[in-house]
Chains A and B, each alone.
Chain A
């Protein structure tokens, strides 16, 4: 028995895990199985996107806490003995993954950003960040299965192949357990339209901005470049000039746009960690020694209040 199993809360997360899952399954020479919650169509689409098999985890009745599936998942693992479990690193799945790992006595690498297959040892070496983003830790699981949670956006989504779904490819596991936890209600946090992870161009607001109203400068630039606005942690979580969902950084969102421009961003490691995979990184800062320039491809040394209007003018000419 073996297998690489992936688990996500939605189809986007699943397709991302399927891409890395496929390459690992091929190295292991084993099957790739996708687990989806409740959504049978998503499970079927996983087959189209590269899974060999899929499983739908179904609630008996209404949607409830995810831990109702905990015993069933653990049983499946014990029964089918996969090599590896890859789980999307969402708030709920991080908790669930740790509990699955504890029941299985399995090692779990949290927020894994890179997986490298070690041919000699037929094992996977996993990398993750430590010390607020200053360090990269490389670990291996000494257990079987090996487990990792992977932040959404770490891997590209697997492409859809040509229709391969056969009836027997999708199984169903119905909830076997009740949870001690009751969900009382869901409260909407804030009106959020865009997921900045989807943006190809990101303009980031840093502490160089003197007041909240000045963010419209950044918005003008974003409009011209057809990009999205984001912020550093001080601008979002501390000063609340922008919502937390637009916070780029270790404790916020990791983005991989084609173009990132930081305006008045100093470039602390906790922030830079969130944009290190951007294709082109640019910065505008009046301090020639700001750390952001050490991680940028292009840097303008100047006051953003002076530079941004000029930049907007110049870009408008080009359109």
Chain B
């Protein structure tokens, strides 16, 4: 078993770390405070090819592997989880879905600008009444000659307010049950696609999240992504990729929590010693470091399996479940280690703790992950 990253992966990690320290870290607190999407930062990310890492170069991507993508998401998230997350879903879901299920024309038209980072993508599935229960969705796409007409409301859509390309999942044939959903590629500006206003969230505040409403939105059949009725399977594939990304994001959060905790505990002196010398604190840090290692290896393994062309659903779920829960658990500990200072706005751990919570919820809640994993293991 080779646990060694390739030289390229190591170099890429160093480069993105330098990039993150230079361009991401300095604005992370501000974009969180102001709920701002940093357009200028995403432009720089696009220039370096960081927005389409696993996409082949012929489609505007960088032609690297998914493990490299996971490493990059992790390193960006270490500085700013919102930015890491946005890169993750843009690449892992929007880009990958078109790569895997789009036809040549769709790839040229939609994938290329996405992979180049010229366009932003959004994954549009969740509805007010349909979260974990995907089948409870009510958005429909009624056939009308060469077109489909979409009606319904989607919510909690990341990049909802600003995406250029929306990947939308809805019923084309409700009676067909699991084979009744289809996926569509819908560009911004299509009449009847109405991005809603940005939600104000506890954490991940720089990521723009909103409702997306469809009101008699007419979409040509050329925009059908994959076959009619393949929507749910497409979405599941999307989740597999997305979950590796969220796991990587959580690993980045964990790493940041550990970095901050180590630094603070060495500097903070109470009762004559740096608190790192107190067992209560050092043990917290030991647990944090251990769970970080485990989360990282679960994540890298899932990414590696995908790169090997092997099934990786179960591993992606496991990585996401574990990394997210540990990220939440340990960011709480990190604030605890910082004491009062960890509770004040401006402390990085304050933001990390708020950011961590959503990782247990989106891309499939921890409960949903347990369903996937048990379903797999108990077969």
Which residues of chain A have a CB within 8 Å of any CB of chain B?
Answer: 287-289
* Interface residue? B347 (CB, 8 A): no
B269 at the interface (CB under 8 A from A): yes
How many positions in chain B have a CB within 8 Å of any CB in the partner chain? 5
Note all chain A residues with C-beta closer than 8 A to B267. 287, 289
Q: Point out the residues of chain A lying under 8 angstroms from B311, CB to CB.
A: none
Least CB distance, B261 to chain A, in whole angstroms: 15
A287 to B274, CA, bound (A): 12
In this complex, what residue of A is CB-closest to B274?
A: A289
Contacts of B269 in A (CB 8 A): 288-289
What chain A residues lie within 8 Å of B215 (beta carbons)?
none
The verdict on B108 contacting chain A, using a C-beta distance below 8 Å, is: no
Q: Which residues of B contact A287 (CB under 8 A)?
A: 267
From residue 113 to 170 of chain B, which have CB atoms closer than 8 A to chain A? none
B344 CB to nearest A CB, Å: 15
Nearest Cβ distance between residue B263 and chain A, in whole angstroms?
10
Residues of B within 8 Å of A289, CB to CB, are: 266-269, 274
Residue numbers of B with Cβ under 8 A of A are 266-269, 274
Query: Which residues of the other chain, B, contact A288 by a CB distance below 8 angstroms?
Result: 269
Closest Cβ of chain B to A199, distance in Å, is 32
Closest chain B residue to A288 by CB distance?
Answer: B269
- Distance, CA A289 to CA B277, complexed state (A): 14
Q: List 7 A-B contacts (CB under 8 A).
A: A287-B267, A288-B269, A289-B266, A289-B267, A289-B268, A289-B269, A289-B274
CA gap between A287 and B267 in the complex, in Å: 8
Per the bound structure, the CA–CA distance linking A288 and B274 in Å amounts to 11
- Nearest A-chain residue to B267, judged by Cβ: A289
Residues of the A chain whose Cβ atoms lie less than 8 Å from the Cβ of B268: 289
Residues of A within 8 A of B274 (CB): 289
* A248 vs chain B, min Cβ distance (A): 24
B268: nearest chain-A partner, CB-CB? A289
Q: How far is A229 from B182 in the complex, measured between Cα atoms in Å? A: 70
Counting from the closest, the 4 A-B pairs by CB-CB distance are A289-B267, A288-B269, A289-B269, A287-B267
Contact partners of B266 in chain A: CB under 8 A: 289
* Alpha-carbon distance between A289 and B266 when the two chains are bound, in angstroms: 9
Docked pose: A289 CA to B268 CA in angstroms: 8
B265 to chain A, nearest CB (A): 11
Whole-angstrom distance between the Cβ of B168 and the nearest chain A Cβ: 48
A265 → B minimal CB distance (Å): 16
Considering only CB atoms, which chain B residue lies closest to A290 in the complex? B267
A287, B341: Cα distance in complex, Å: 14
Q: Please measure, in the bound complex, the distance between the C-alpha atom of A289 and the C-alpha atom of B267, giving whole angstroms.
A: 6
B57 to chain A, nearest CB (A): 37
CB distance from B374 to the nearest CB of A (A): 48
- B266: nearest chain-A partner, CB-CB: A289
CA distance A288 to B266 in the complex (A): 11
CB distance from A47 to the nearest CB of B (A): 55
Instruction: Tell me the smallest distance from the CB of A134 to a CB of chain B, in Å.
Output: 18
Q: CA–CA, A32 to B274, complex, Å?
A: 54
Complex alpha-carbon distance, A98 and B268, angstroms = 48
User: Smallest Cβ distance from B372 to chain A, in angstroms?
Assistant: 47
- How far does the alpha carbon of A287 sit from the alpha carbon of B266 in the complex, in Å? 12
How distant is the Cα of A233 from the Cα of B369 in the complex, in angstroms?
51
Question: Smallest Cβ distance from A215 to chain B, in angstroms?
Answer: 22
B99, chain A: closest CB distance, angstroms: 42
Alpha-carbon distance between A288 and B270 when the two chains are bound, in angstroms: 11
Q: Tell me, in angstroms, the Cα distance from A289 to B269 when the chains sit together.
A: 8
Within the assembled complex, what's the spacing in Å between the Cα atoms of A288 and B267? 8
